[in-house]
Amino acid sequence: MKLVVNIPTYNEKENIESCIKNVLAQAKNLKGLDLEILVSDSHSPDGTGEIVKKISRTNPKVHYLDVKERGLGVGIVKGHRYAIDKLKADILAQMDGDLSHDPVTLPQMISFINQGYDLVNGSRMIKGGKNLLGWHRRLFTRGSALFCKLSWGTFKLTEYTNSYRVFTRGLFQKIDFSKVPWKSKTYIIQPAFLYAAIEAGAKIKEVPITFQDRKKGYSKAKIVAYTFDVLRFGIRVRLEKSATFIKFLIVGTMSYFVNAVLLGLLFRGQIYSLKVLPGPILSFLPLGGMAAKISIITLDRLFIASVIAAEVSIIFNFFWHENWTFKNREHKGSIFLRLFKFNSSSIISPIIQVVSIQVFFHVLHLSEQIGLAVGVIVGLFVNYAINILWIWKAHPRPAK
């Protein structure tokens, strides 16, 4: 198997030779892996490219790629694509070219890939990790991590803005790069790529690393612009995540009115307090003690009306979710199979509704409509969780 370490650079002539030497020194600790290095350079004017090309002429394990465009994300994405397409990499790694990342951690990271993880993330914030940057950079790191946790809802991760990572070729090929701002001039590629990996279903492991401040050269990080990019990306993620739930609530609200109107017409011949029919549609059915019973269930007009109204609202829900709420999610199996699954998963909600209606009408002597409203609210959140986990699963999109 081949491991290609991608080192994106811009003006790193003072560090790149030592960086390459340090990475190659780990070959002896990576048994069974063919270690190669790719320096994906953004056309550095300081001569970084000439140094790498000189090394590559005597060492076939070192490769140079002039990505021409400025930007960490450009170097990372174009470099990884080159590593896969031209160098035939099985495992991809990335690290900074300024000696901030210690390649000594590489063997440990690779060991977790061999254990079945898709991405191994170097973290400064778990036990054993250290962040030796200045206080303002440490503040940015912690603030960004907290914001990403809250906006993404990913509370098991600790590190979001570090670039020291190892992952599989298969994971990279699953990433939907149309949603990753990889051409940005800031370092937003780091958290954005991590989020895309999560969306692609990656199994992620974090390992402690020490992040050194550079000894030579200067940092290209634009902290203010980077901060705004992190905020903007997090807000976008939150809105996307909330959009599905908002649609779910809208459909649920419409479904509630379908349920309420039908229940009213079947049971009373009216919509709420407005009488629209001379009598209930189910007027031929008895109410209360005169109705047949199955165990503790009384099959009276209210019960039958509740069941019919609930089932119609379930079908109404399904077709709206199928064609709007979860339109872009996985639609596995025939529409009839999904309708059956939806009915099966939704059984909790109508049971809650019917019980609530019966309790409010027969026990509390209040309107059945109040019982319906309470039952709908209680069943709403359970149904949402079941829908996104079973019927309309999120599915990874192909790389673009």
What is the pLDDT at residue 383?
Answer: 66
Q: Is the pLDDT of residue 304 over 50?
A: yes
Give me the half-sphere count of Cα atoms (radius 13 Å) on the Cβ side of residue 267: 29
Question: Which two structure tokens, joined as six digits, stand for 71?
Answer: 């930007």
What is the pLDDT at residue 269?
Answer: 94
Does the predicted model carry a pTM greater than 0.85?
no
What is the pLDDT at residue 299?
Answer: 87
Question: Which two structure tokens, joined as six digits, stand for 222?
Answer: 């634009």
Give the three-class secondary structure for 62. strand
Mean of the pLDDT values across residues 30-38?
Answer: 94
Q: Measure the CA–CA gap between 149 and 157, rounded to whole angstroms.
A: 8
Strands (E) in the chain, as ranges, are 2-9, 34-41, 62-66, 91-94, 119-123, 130-131, 165-168, 204-208, 210-211, 270-271, 274-275, 293-294, 297-298
What is the pLDDT at residue 219?
Answer: 56
Q: Measure the CA–CA gap between 259 and 372, rounded to whole angstroms.
A: 8
What is the pLDDT at residue 371?
Answer: 84
DSSP-assigned states of every residue in 156-208 = T----S---EEEEHHHHHH--GGGS-TT-SSSTHHHHHHHHHHHTT--EEEEE
Q: Is the pLDDT of residue 71 over 80?
A: yes
Write out pLDDT tens, residues 256-297: 899 999 999 999 999 988 999 999 999 999 987 787 888 767
pLDDT confidence bin for 397, thresholds 50/70/90: very low
- Domain extents in the chain: 2-221, 243-391
What is the pLDDT at residue 106?
Answer: 96
Q: Which of 197-206, 237-246, 298-307 is the least confident region?
A: 237-246
Q: Is the pLDDT of residue 390 over 70?
A: no
What single-letter DSSP state applies at residue 333? S
Mean of the pLDDT values across residues 56-64?
Answer: 96
Q: Is the pLDDT of residue 380 over 70?
A: no
Write out pLDDT tens, residues 177-225: 888 998 888 889 999 999 999 989 999 999 999 998 866 655 555 678 8
| Domain 2-221 fold | Spore Coat Polysaccharide Biosynthesis Protein SpsA; Chain A (3.90.550)
pLDDT confidence bin for 400, thresholds 50/70/90: very low
